[in-house]
A = this chain, B = another copy of it.
Amino acid sequence: MADAPARGTLETFPNPNPARDYQIAIEAPEFTCVCPKTGHPDFATMQLTYVPDKLCLELKAYKLYIQAWRNVGIFHEAVTNRIAEDLIAALKPRYLKLVGAFHAHGGITTTVTVEHQAI
């Protein structure tokens, strides 16, 4: 199994319209990691929504960051929280929500939703 991707692999660019609050939603339907207990792969759609402050998320680096979880062993709740914290650290957004919608396992479907509001 591989290590989790370093937070530094996320890249940003300056917000083109910081005077206005607006929302960016980015859906990555091809997230996959590995169950640390069984070794079976897990699949999810990662749905990110954020209101940028000074920085926007660079899409190509985000795509590689998402791909870098492919062989990492980690549970649903932990990985969704970890990715959310990485994004909050990189973007310092006015608002951020990350929904990790995992495919069914043993007939049971899990969705983890993390929300962040800058004070």
Contact = CB atoms under 8 A, between A and B. Distances in A.
Interface of A: 15-17, 20-30, 32, 40-41, 43, 52, 56, 59-60, 62-63, 66-67, 70-71, 75, 77-78, 80-81, 84-85, 103-116
A108 B70 contact: no
Given A20-B114, A71-B71, 19 more contacts: A16-B81, A17-B77, A17-B78, A17-B114, A22-B115, A23-B113, A24-B77, A24-B111, A24-B112, A25-B113, A26-B108, A32-B32, A59-B105, A59-B106, A59-B110, A62-B108, A70-B70, A104-B104, A106-B106
Contact of A103 (B30, B70, B111): B30
A25 B111 contact: yes
Nearest to A78: B16
Given A107-B103, A115-B21, A32 B26 contact: no
